[in-house]
Amino acid sequence: MSEVPPLAIVRCDHCQARFLPHPGLCPRCGSDELVRTEIPAHATVLAATELLAPAAGWPSPHRLAILEATESVRILAIVRGPLPTLGSVVAVRRTNDLYEVVLPSPG
């Protein structure tokens, strides 16, 4: 498993929801008691797709996955390689405000 830095998330001290950094108040309860924290950057692949009619400016195919990290934090991530197996655990990193699945090193 690739070594990757932890992911920044937000915890709501009112309802204990955990979510990715998000504009505005807690999306679950509307509280402003939000605290930045971190979770390990490894997550299980819940769903994946290959877009063959991608949005303008994206290559075809463009691959996306929904991942679930600890604390039930879900992440929409770009996959710049073969789609990972559903149910497998992958590393994820945030680069330039985009989440990407970290591909295994060649060899």
* Residue ranges binding another protein (CB under 8 A): 19-20, 22, 27, 46-58, 62, 64-66, 74-78, 86-87, 97-99
* Rounded-to-integer distance, Cα 81 and Cα 105, Å: 12
Least CB distance to another protein at residue 88 (A): 12
Least CB distance to another protein at residue 14 (A): 16
* Cβ proximity to another protein, 2 vs 62, nearer residue: 62
* Cβ proximity to another protein, 9 vs 91, nearer residue: 9
Q: Which residue type is seen at 46?
A: L
Least CB distance to another protein at residue 70 (A): 15
Burial class (CB in 10 A: 0-12, 13-18, 19+), 19: middle
> Tokens 């932890």 appear where?
6
> Tokens 């992958």 appear where?
90
